Amino acid sequence: MSDSIESGVPQRRSLYPPIEPYNNGILKVSDTHTLYWEQSGNPDGHPVVFLHGGPGGGTSPNNRRFFDPEFYRIVLFDQRGAGKSTPHACLEENTTWDLVNDIEKLREHLKIPEWQVFGGSWGSTLALTYSQFHPDKVTGLVLRGIFLIRKKEIDWFYEGGAAAIYPDAWEEFRDLIPENERGSLVDAYHKRLNSDDLETQYAAARAWTKWEMMTAHLLPNDGNIQKAEDDKFSLAFARIENHYFVNKAFFTSDSHLLDNIDKIRHIKTTIVQGRYDVVCPMMSAWDLHKAWPEADLKIVGDAGHSANEPGIAAELVVANEKMKAFVG
């Protein structure tokens, strides 16, 4: 059984220096959708695929920096409707199962036999789902900010739980919705994010995105919060997230991911979790740890949700360093 260890603040690893992709492209995955993908690092290195959050968040150049570029062949891609993938913010043919199939299509397109999978927040949800369907293609897992997409997690963040910690930010999020529609804010936002009026969509998207960005760090991060003002980013982020949450990630059971842990129990895995994560509270990482004690759980004692917080970033880099011995 692997122990859960809470890390403090002494000497922390930094992210690797910025790098540029050595190639990139567009992969058509359906009659509707195309995906942007890129590769960086060592073309002959061990492949690792980065699964971004949201869903709808897209990738960024900083995502390449969690991995040793001399050891890893680093694959990033934007999921359906996100980032540079097209059509932008599209909800058609956009389900968890579509994304799982896309990961396989990309692996095959890049002629990669198997790869390490890395994902945080929604990326952890997708990483677990993909691995449970294709365990033979996964050499190792590094997960962060565990999100099992259960009703109690959605209710915690969008129906008043996190409001106890961020009442100021919560009121701004809540007050976009009239009092008579506040029985389910997720449903009320769904109506507006899918309105025929584009400005109604944008207003809802900005409010939805700002709520998450204001709560994603232990200490406020102005750069992150300002993302909400980028209408292109926030529309994809909010519409796609909300679409998945309304549809319960298209799972048939609230406990789908925990129920299928036996399929991946043998895979070397590290879970990194911020103690004060408000977006994906530690109860989910703990539930996963209890169901899967073989996985290493690293609790960062001075961090919230974001992968860019110093303690989280450091543990992710260390996890990838340790993974080299198992996947190389």
Which residue numbers are catalytic?
Answer: 121, 277, 305
Strands 23-28 and 34-41: antiparallel
Q: Residue 222: in which H helix or E strand, if any?
A: helix 222-225
Amino acid in position 266? H
Q: Is-contact 135 117, C-beta < 8 A?
A: no
How far from chain centre, in Å, is Cα 204?
21
Secondary structure (3-state) at 213: helix
User: Counting beta carbons within 10 angstroms of the beta carbon of residue 161, is it exposed (0 to 12), middle (13 to 18) or buried (19 or more)?
Assistant: middle
CA atoms within 13 A on the CB side of 150: 17
> Between 185-193 and 151-158, two packed helices, what is the crossing angle to 10 degrees?
80
Best CA proximity match to 162, nearest among 83, 92, 216? 216
Would you say how long the chain is, in residues?
A: 328
User: Counting beta carbons within 10 angstroms of the beta carbon of residue 9, is it exposed (0 to 12), middle (13 to 18) or buried (19 or more)?
Assistant: exposed
Q: What are phi and psi of 214, to 5 degrees?
A: -75, -15
Sheet order of strands, 72-77 included: 4-7, 296-300, 269-274, 138-144, 115-120, 46-51, 72-77, 34-41, 23-28
